[in-house]
Chain A
Amino acid sequence: MIALPILLPLLFGALCLMAWQNPRWQKAFSLLGTAAQFGAAIWLLIRVQQNGIQHLQVGNWPAPFGIVLVVDLLSAIMVTVAAAVALVVAAYSQAAIDSPRVQYGYYPLFFFLLMGVNGAFITGDLFNLYVWFEVMLMSSFVMLALGGERPQIEGAIKYVILNLLSSTLFLSALGLLYNLAGTLNMADLALRLPGLETGNQITLIAMLFLVAFGIKSAIFPLFFWLPASYHTPPVTITALFSGLLTKVGVYALFRVFTLLFVQDTAYTHTILLIIAGFTMVTGVFGAAAQTDLRRLLSFHIISQIGYLLMGLGMFSQPALAASIYFMVHVILAKTSLFLVAGIVEKMEGSYNLKELGGIYSTRFGVALLFLLPALSLAGLPPLSGFFAKLALVVAGFDLHQYAIVAVGLGVSLMTLYSMTKIWNEAFWKEPKDPIRHAKHKPISSWLWASTAVLVFISLLAGLLAEPLLNLANQAAAQLADPSIYIQAVLGVAP
């Protein structure tokens, strides 16, 4: 039953709505629901890995006419990582989300957001993808604005306006594409597009999709909404968004630029590669200028998106595999860092690096929880970030793409600089206000335990690099050859 990743969040979202006046039940449902979803995701991953691409014709309407749900390895991996993040964030939320936010529907929104994310991962129809994007956008917009603090509203408005622009472009591109090909089923499109005599129209549509998904995934130069909005809500929500939302945009780019728009790769994928370079560089330079922990980490989200695009732009099987592994790595590491930032704020009452200090001497555990994902993000062995970058670099050398490899390595050094800056300022230096520092508040065990679990998973991703890279390689093999996807969904060979 491959629709489970959509149905479980729907069910638990409805249950949380039912328990509107009863936060305790909602909290219990959130743990139960995300745990069930994680189980379903693992089951799905194993099944897809063993039996190949799974698909479901919803309502028994055959493939190009009805909506299909398709789970290939990439989708299954994304669903699994998203479910792991959701489970950890649900546990973290138990202590981190204040009761007014729970009363105004944090948990139902949480589940509807997950439903949108999972729906986007497993749909096999481009219009349906649009619908899931809207589900995601609406839930995330309300989550951003939940609580109604002044900066939140400002951030949420920027967020929703730019994302609505993206949706409009997406919808226009869908219209043009439907006009051209007469179908929006992804497998059917992949079958028909190569045969169409359309000149540059497909490339034009591809660029519209690039801009639409580019806004969602915060690539250069469309990322401005992200640093303007991500630091405004409680850090739990930012952690969830950083792990899931931009990655859905990147997933959509992966899907359309491996399955559909592969006619003129010399043009389209070179653009992707150039954008990848600029995204990495601007993200990391933006981060260097920040002193607010959340803003700094938000800029790093952007810079890491560049690495994901780098593999897609190089467009070879090893490069795609490297990007998929990188995606797993960055979702785990980035979410952990935001969760740690939340713990730091709970302890010291600030996100400002200038005011923080001395955490290493009093709270060694928290310092360690920060250090591991931070070094992983910077790419130090034996952590997952090292293997992810190594795989990308090797793939780049194979294709003689020296320029982008050089950029990637340079940005990696800058990332290390940023992480060292946080370490020096927040953890290492003498606290600015020793008296306040000495009486920091105790931390709920939900917070550190859930963060520790995520950091541990992220460590595992580094220790199990070889089997994971193997899995990513299998996923990339499915992406590199669209005929596998077409065959699985439509049952005909192209």
Chain B
Amino acid sequence: MHRSILLSAAARYLMPLMLVFSVFLLIRGHNEVGGGFVGGLVATSALMLYAIALSPAALRKLLPVEPHLLVSAGLISALVSGLIPMLAGKPFMTGLWLKYPIPVIGKVGTPLLFDTGVYLVVIGVVTWILLTLAEE
């Protein structure tokens, strides 16, 4: 397949920007538009842009872990976010928040951990599916 130089040059710059934006969406998501699901989709489209501009194999090389590990890690962090409040004697999945917001990130609590889990699962699943399709 013919590769476009413009696209591959743009992809190298766009991908990091989109990844940063996806994290922004993730953190913003609790009370405003955004969240783990949307963030995950934006991150995946960044990865896919890279795969289209270069090649699926290049993306495989770029990814530090296999997609299924992302899914697994996401599920476990969502599970852990539900279990943490139980250590404090609260029911499963109760939202616990730090008292003071952290600069830049804002309020941090177990719902953010849950959302991070969703973020990872979405990236893992969608990348997994698309890479499999692209490599067929």
Contact with B along A57-75 (1 / 0, CB 8 A): 1111000000000000000
Contacts of A60 in B (CB 8 A): 85, 90-91, 93-95
Partner of B79, one of A14, A17, A56: A14
Neighbour of A17 across the interface among B75, B85, B90, B95, CB < 8 A: B75
Q: Which residue of A lies closest to B85 (CB)?
A: A60
Q: Nearest Cβ distance between residue A218 and chain B, in whole angstroms?
A: 30
Chain A contacts with B in 4-19, Cβ cutoff 8 A: 7, 10-11, 13-15, 17-18
Instruction: Give the distance in Å from the alpha carbon of A58 to the alpha carbon of B66 in the complex.
Output: 32
Q: How far is B71's CA from A15's CA once the two chains are assembled, in angstroms?
A: 10
B72 within 8 A of A: yes
- Size bracket, chain B contacts: 10 to 19
Other-chain residue from A10, A20, A57, A59 in contact with B75 (beta carbon distance below 8 A): A10
A56 to B68, CA, bound (A): 31
Known contacts A20-B69, A58-B91, A59-B94; 11 additional CB pairs below 8 A are A7-B83, A11-B76, A14-B72, A17-B68, A17-B71, A17-B75, A18-B73, A56-B92, A58-B93, A60-B85, A60-B94
4 nearest A-B pairs in the assembled complex, by CB-CB distance: A14-B75, A17-B72, A60-B94, A18-B72
Judged by a CB distance under 8 angstroms, whether A1 is at the interface is yes
A positions within 8 Å CB-CB of B: 1, 3, 7, 10-11, 13-15, 17-18, 20, 56-60
A20 touching B66, Cβ below 8 Å: yes
Most buried by A among B69, B71, B86: B71
Find chain B residues with CB under 8 A from A20 CB: 66, 68-69
CA A56 to CA B29, docked complex, whole Å:
27
A463 to chain B, nearest CB (A): 38
Alpha-carbon gap, A208 to B114, bound state (A): 35
A18–B73 Cα distance when bound, in Å, is 8
Q: Are A57 and B68 in contact (CB under 8 A)?
A: no
Cβ-neighbour of A13 out of B75, B91, B94, B95 (below 8 A): B75
Given contacts A7-B79, A13-B75, whether A1 and B92 have CB atoms under 8 Å apart is: yes
User: Do residues A10 and B91 form an inter-chain contact, with CB atoms below 8 A?
Assistant: no
Cross-chain contact of A10 among B79, B90, B95 (Cβ < 8 A)? B79
Q: Indicate if the CB atoms of A59 and B72 lie closer than 8 Å.
A: no
The answer to whether B79 and A59 have CB atoms under 8 Å apart is no
Docked Cα-Cα span, A7 to B66, in Å, equals 24
Q: Across the interface, which residues of A come within 8 angstroms of B75, CB to CB?
A: 10, 13-14, 17
**Minimum distance in angstroms from B129 CB to a CB of chain A:** 12
B95 with A59: CB separation less than 8 A: yes
What are 24 A-B contacts with C-beta separation under 8 Å?
Answer: A3-B92, A7-B79, A7-B82, A10-B75, A11-B76, A13-B75, A14-B71, A14-B72, A14-B79, A17-B69, A17-B72, A18-B72, A18-B73, A20-B68, A56-B92, A57-B91, A58-B93, A59-B92, A59-B93, A59-B94, A59-B95, A60-B90, A60-B91, A60-B95
Rounded to whole Å, the gap between the CB of B72 and the closest CB of chain A is: 4
Question: In the bound complex, what is the Cα–Cα distance between A17 and B91 (angstroms)?
Answer: 27
Expressed in whole angstroms, the Cα–Cα distance for A17 and B125 within the complex equals 11
CA distance A387 to B38 in the complex (A): 55
User: What's the Cα separation between A15 and B73 when bound, in Å?
Assistant: 9
Question: A15's contact among B72, B90, B91, B94, by CB below 8 Å, is which?
Answer: B72
A10 CB contacts on chain B under 8 angstroms: 75, 79
Provide the residues of chain B in CB contact with A59, threshold 8 Å: 91-95
Q: What is the bound-complex CA distance between A196 and B91, given in angstroms? A: 33
What 0/1 pattern do residues 25 to 65 of B give for CB contact below 8 A with A? 00000000000000000000000000000000000000000
Closest to A67 in B: B93
Taking CB atoms, residues of chain B closer than 8 Å to A14 are 71-72, 75-76, 79
Please give, as numbers and ranges, the residues of chain A lying within 8 Å of B79 by CB-CB distance: 7, 10-11, 14
Give B69's nearest chain A residue, CB to CB.
A18
Residues on A with C-beta less than 8 A from B93 are 58-60
Bound state CA distance, A252 and B93, in angstroms?
A: 25
Q: Which residue of B lies closest to A19 (CB)?
A: B72
Determine the distance from Cα of A56 to Cα of B86 in the docked complex, in whole angstroms.
Answer: 12
Q: Once the chains are docked, how many angstroms separate the CA of A56 from the CA of B82?
A: 13
Distance between B51 CB and nearest chain A CB, rounded to angstroms: 20
Q: Once the chains are docked, how many angstroms separate the CA of A1 from the CA of B93?
A: 12
**CA of A59 to CA of B109, assembled, Å:** 13
Q: Looking across the interface, which residue of chain B has its beta carbon closest to that of A57?
A: B91
Q: How far is the CA of A7 from the CA of B94 in the complex (A)?
A: 15
Residues of A within 8 A of B66 (CB): 20
CA A416 to CA B70, docked complex, whole Å: 52
Q: Report the separation of the CA atoms of residues A1 and B91 in the bound assembly, to the nearest whole angstrom.
A: 9
Whole-angstrom distance between the alpha carbons of A11 and B71 in the complex? Answer: 12
